[in-house]
Amino acid sequence: MDFSATVILGGLILALLWLFSVKNRRKYRLPPGPFALPLIGNLPQLDKNAPFKSIVKFSETYGPVMTINLGWQRIVFLVGYDAVKEALVDQADDFTGRGPFPFLMKLTKGYGLGISNGERWRQLRRFTLTTLRDFGMGRKGMEEWIQEESRHLRAHIESFKGKPFDPTFLISCTVSNVICCLVFGQRFGYEDKTFLQLLHIISEILKFLNSPIGQLYNIFPWLMEQLPGPQHATFAKAEKLREFINMKIKEHKETLDPSSPRDFIDCFLIRSNKEKDNPTTEFIHENLVGTVLNLFMAGTETTSSTIRYALNVLIKYPNIQEKMQKEVDTVIGQSCSPSMENRKSLPFSDAVIHEVQRFLDIVPFSLPHFAFQDISFRGYTIPKDTFIMPLLHSVLKEEKQWATPKSFNPQHFLDQNFNFKKNPAFLPFAAGKRSCVGEALARMELFIFLVSLMQNFTFSCTEGPDSINLTAEYSSFANLPRVYQIIATPR
């Protein structure tokens, strides 16, 4: 079949799917939403640079539970804390399904924790949480790894001798090394060419997902596979990540000591050997590759972007940086490594870190959920095979939940006595049974790295605080901070 015939056939299939969705709308009491055009749905009505803002605007007309069509794909959006919490926490069992997110499906070949469902998801999530916890409390636990890595970071920053530098890959190396210790049992030097290449690939993948082409791939994957474009180069680069992980798994198999697991891969291989005679086991090679890929990518980019954003915030608001430094000096001093024990004694620093996460709003859409059967929710029916998007952006920036949602304000997390105060609408890691498995690790990294940086340096930039723009540089799948040449003056 030639290319033009493929496109025509694809168009006919889309038209039939659209007619089917119109018929479904009449059959079910679907959540309301704007009129959708054939084939392209509501795509022309969305801001391509920040589509989540368009969704919030729609919710002002159609309410917190609404139907939007992206191409032929029907998606139910949940907007605001009440709707998101009611779905993900109160009706958790109905909303545990993970949508077949096309880019991730191709990247992981449908295997691994992030994209799985049913028994595979249950087994892999339980195993991953247990393994993370075991290494967190182990002989050389996560906290010690993070403290050690913070010393490498400090030494590297000191080598710039107060000259401006771009912190992007330096911080990516630092954060990724914690995941590498956990998953591969080793850290990499900051000049390691293979390591830097892998981090560059992860960064390129995220930029692709944020681009209009990346969005189109997730809406029309079969069409984008036929068309020329950057999607092919992105997947070719991503294959290098898989090759690296496969090489590491091979090395682990050759040196495995079942009585003394060194890391996540060892633990998985030991479990796999125990279940080798079980025909339904989920502890198979492709699930190991997929899960390591999930941990490596998610555990690198989100936390490192949050730390970079925190530095931008502290440069823009030097008074907040100074107040944080004074609190750290008073409680810890400048000679001891920060530990999680210190957190309860550093309420202002803790509040700043939480507000950085809230204000950055790194994954505004979260990952899509999926209805594997009809779901009754708030008087509506969400039909089987519908994607469901809990809009985390709308929770973290909701006026009902935050005193000044559009301003950076650490007071959101402090009570009248300046003690740390939790807010139930703080959901950067999502909520319920599909919440981020690495939440505890990410919180530990953010706290120890940022407090350590405040202990040792004062951050600024040559153009001055007013030059810092806190709006995201890329803003679609993820909100990524803008890149600046920054100066770290040793204290």
Residue 373 clears pLDDT 50, i.e. is over it: yes
* Mean pLDDT calculated for residue range 225-243: 93
Residue 3 clears pLDDT 50, i.e. is over it: no
- Best CA proximity match to 230, nearest among 256, 204, 255: 204
Among 7-16, 118-127, 351-360, 381-390, whose mean pLDDT is lowest?
7-16
- What are the tens digits of pLDDT across the range 326-363? 999 999 998 899 999 999 999 999 999 999 999 999 99
Which of 211 and 330 is assigned the larger pLDDT?
A: 330
- Best CA proximity match to 125, nearest among 287, 253, 269, 261: 287
* Mean pLDDT calculated for residue range 364-374: 93
3-state helix, strand, coil in the chain (%, to 5): 55, 10, 35
* Mean pLDDT calculated for residue range 213-222: 88
* DSSP code string of 36-75: -BTTTBTGGGS-SS-HHHHHHHHHHHH-SEEEEEETTEEE
Provide the pLDDT confidence category of residue 4 given band limits of 50, 70 and 90.
low
In the chain, count H helices and then E strands.
17, 10
Residue 136 clears pLDDT 80, i.e. is over it: no
CA-to-CA distance for 208 and 453, rounded, in angstroms? 31
Residue 470 clears pLDDT 50, i.e. is over it: yes
**Helix, coil or strand: residue 79:** strand
- Best CA proximity match to 413, nearest among 489, 350, 463, 474: 350
Enumerate the β-bridge partners of residue 359: none
Asked if 175 contacts 145 with a C-beta cutoff of 8 angstroms, the reply is no
pTM above 0.85, yes or no: yes
CA-to-CA distance for 33 and 66, rounded, in angstroms? 5
Q: Which CATH class is domain 3-490?
A: mainly alpha
pLDDT of residue 326: 97
CA-to-CA distance for 391 and 396, rounded, in angstroms? 9
